[in-house]
A = this chain, B = another copy of it.
Amino acid sequence: MKIDPWKSIEVKDYSKTMKEFGIDPIATLYKNLPLKSILFSRNVIFGHKDFGKIIDAIKNKEPFVMMTGLMPSGKFHLGHKIVADIMVYFQKMGAECYIAVADIESNLTRNTNREESKKLAIDQYLINYIALGLKSKKTKFYFQSEGSIEYNNLSKYVAKRTTFNELKSIYGGLSPEKIISAFTQVADILHPQLKENGGPKPVVVPVGVDQLPHINLTRDIASRMKSEYNFILPSATFNKMLPGLKKGKMSSSDSTSYIALTDSPEEAANKIKKYAFSGGRSTIKEHREKGGNPDIDVSYKYLEMLFEPDDKKLKKIYEDYRSGALLTGELKQILIEKVQKFLKDHQKKRQKAKKQVDKFIVKTSPKKR
């Protein structure tokens, strides 16, 4: 498998990938975390790199940072909710949250307009983050295009600490845009440790496995900058992607592949009924006789990864579907009710969240002579 951080990939076999790329399973460390979460117990977050530092920081109540980025495009959907849940989890554990809007990268690689990116980032991402529980205290939601001088300088100084050959081995085809995007992203991950942000501290970056090369590059560059910056090498957690409704990836250009957090409860129900990939049999008779396959059933996955926190209830759903006692329509109905309740509740919270936006955004100072 070739990992290309410029494309999302679907990972079929996580344990194989982990061995291949030196990602450690997180299960053994999870028991040290004071707050339990299905994100860990159900292996949504399945692996890590150097996460012990974060466990220590949590245990000793020392400052640490959760750093993530977003590339504003399309609607915020349930796939994004997984990331938001991870952010909120780390914030509850005491993390200061840095959230980069990758508008420079978006402009360079997708030619997006800065004002539109900004609007989208706030309306589709920030407001949903807030409604999903992110608090303004200890959150820095910032735009790459509005970073501080030292952040910008850092994104240039990293050029000394890597070579074309290294970049080529990571990204394959190189272009000036990709290089600038990569260096800016390295600065995103490292700048929480700048003096202006309180100096060196552990940083965890929750990512999909497709971002592993970026994490490795950033760690390598950080270690080569020791003499100037004394960075602590950043840690990472690796999470599974929520499958698209029809299996496969969610695509922002195909609204039948996802449920957006701004979809009406009716839309959501219709999408699940019509598109959710099923592990059921072709006929009710066959299903009753042979049973369904929850492991490939998207509705089941959504319950497992997002909507059914109760392990016992989830286990019963799994077994009933396996045995044929639960039909596909019934399984979908369980999900529909959970999703509709969530959406109604969430959309009310979005209204409140809109008023809080300003408390989250890092303001850059106007230029002075």
Residues of A within 8 A of B (CB): 104, 107-108, 111, 145-150, 152-153, 155-157, 159-160, 162-164, 167, 174-177, 179-180, 183-184, 196, 362-369
Contacts and interface: CB of A to CB of B under 8 A. Distances in A.
A160 B177 contact: yes
The 4 A-B residue pairs with the shortest CB-CB distance in the complex, in nearest-first order? A152-B152, A159-B176, A365-B368, A159-B180
Given A176-B179, A179-B176, A180-B183, A159 B108 contact: yes
A366 B365 contact: yes
Contact of A368 (B111, B164, B175, B363): B363
Contact of A196 (B363, B365, B367): B367
Given A146-B149, A149-B146, A368-B365, A163 B176 contact: yes
A162 B175 CA distance: 9
B149 A176 contact: no
A162 B178 CA distance: 12
A114 to B, nearest CB: 9
Contacts of A176: 159-160, 162-164, 167, 179, 183
Contacts of A162: 176
B177 A367 contact: no
Contacts of A163: 175-176
B364 A157 contact: no
B179 A179 contact: yes
